[in-house]
Amino acid sequence: MYALTLPQLLEQVKRPGAAVAFNFISLDDMLGIVKAAEVESVPVIIQVTQAALAHVGIDYMAAVGMAAARRARVPVCLHLDHATDFALIMQGIKLGFSSVMIDASALAYEENVKATRRVVDVAHSVGVSVEAELGRIGGREDNAMGDGPDWLTDPDQAEQFIAETGVDALAPSVGTAHGIYTGTPAVRFDLIRAIAVRVDKPLVLHGGSDLPDEVVREAIRSGIRKFNVGTDLRIAHARSLKKMFDSVGDVSASHALAARQTGIEAVCEEARKKIRMCRV
């Protein structure tokens, strides 16, 4: 199968309900994520950030993503996540990403509109979908740091942003943050609902790791259609390898091979938990 755009994939997800978008940084992540989606029999969004691409290059990651889309027994959307670099987005589109995120949320509103519109014009001309961010999502994701009430998305401005840019999906700032939470996250369900009534495009919840199940479900019931998870997969993978190497107390070629399988299984288990968590 070929990679679907975000709207095409979400057509297959009932409302209220969300597709999970998993961030990958390696082939083993990809294998674990695809296995989880196949076992749970759900369409899946597989995405990679600009920062993760910087480690190995976009060619390798796009090739892994395209192979996954071809081989998976479930529908796959291959998405470029939190990209700020226009040239990189163009390269991603050429290499087969079926969906891209332009993250110009650090810029002033008018500049965000301009940068987003520029990507939409090209992406839509070749059948690729576009997600954009309005307001600023806190925590650590690429270069974005910080949080605060002034970063939250204004529903009226969200409606205007959709009309001015033509994006296919919107990532609003509604109280979540990237990475592990330092306190209890105050997710603004009221704000999600207020944006959802004004915006007729799918809403994306970023910073999906480390959130209680009930919070995620309520966010989905409030209007979230794409739920992004990265950090929890990284932690599950790293912990599984530590546990395995601690228990064998030595390393060899066969341990190294076994460790890869251990990591794939850990990612798969964690991804399955997230998929089940999103069933509302």
Q: How many CB atoms lie within 10 A of CB 108?
A: 9
Nearer to ligand G3H, 181 or 247 (CB): 181
Element at 12 (helix H, strand E): none
For position 226 contacting ligand G3H by CB under 6 A, the verdict is no
Query: What is the CA 240 to chain-centroid distance, rounded?
Result: 23
Q: How distant, in Å, are the alpha carbons of 50, 229, 260 from that of 216? A: 25, 11, 30
Nearer to Zn ion, 29 or 141 (CB): 141
Q: How many residues of this chain bind Zn ion (CB under 5 A)?
A: 2
179 binds, among Zn ion, ligand G3H, none (CB under 5 to 8 A by kind): ligand G3H
Candidates 178, 188, 217, 272; binder of ligand G3H (CB under 6 A) is 178
Q: How distant, in Å, are the alpha carbons of 24, 34, 109 from that of 28? A: 9, 10, 38
For residue 83, give the nearest of 61, 63, 66, 64 by alpha carbon. 61
Q: Which two tokens stand for residue 109?
A: 């509103």
For position 82 contacting ligand G3H by CB under 6 A, the verdict is yes
For position 206 contacting Zn ion by CB under 5 A, the verdict is yes
Residues marked active site are found at 81
Region 231-260 residues binding ligand G3H, contact defined as CB under 6 A = 231-232
Of the CA atoms within 13 Å of residue 57, those in its CB half-sphere come to: 3
For position 179 contacting ligand G3H by CB under 6 A, the verdict is yes
Place of tokens 């603004």: 188
Mark 231-249 as b/e (b = at least 16 C-beta within 10 Å).
Answer: bbbbebbeebeeebbeeee
For residue 218, give the nearest of 158, 278, 150 by alpha carbon. 278
Q: Which two tokens stand for residue 237?
A: 């993978």
For position 133 contacting Zn ion by CB under 5 A, the verdict is no
Supply the minimum distance, in Å, between the C-beta of residue 179 and ligand G3H: 5
Candidates 5, 20, 23, 44; binder of ligand G3H (CB under 6 A) is 23
Supply the minimum distance, in Å, between the C-beta of residue 277 and Zn ion: 17
For position 234 contacting Zn ion by CB under 5 A, the verdict is no
For position 141 contacting Zn ion by CB under 5 A, the verdict is yes
Element at 119 (helix H, strand E): helix 109-125
Nearer to ligand G3H, 129 or 228 (CB): 228
For position 207 contacting ligand G3H by CB under 6 A, the verdict is yes
Supply the minimum distance, in Å, between the C-beta of residue 277 and ligand G3H: 12
Supply the minimum distance, in Å, between the C-beta of residue 78 and ligand G3H: 14
If phi > 0 it is left, if psi is from -120 to 50 it is alpha, else beta; for residue 63 that is alpha
Answer yes or no: are the C-beta atoms of 88 and 51 closer than 8 Å. Answer: no
Scanning 90-98, 122-130, 162-170, 229-237 for contacts with ligand G3H by CB under 6 A, the matching segment is: 229-237
Q: Which amino acid is at 15?
A: R
Supply the minimum distance, in Å, between the C-beta of residue 254 and ligand G3H: 32
* Positions that interact with Zn ion (CB under 5 A): 141, 206
* Positions that interact with ligand G3H (CB under 6 A): 23, 81-82, 141, 178-179, 206-209, 228-232
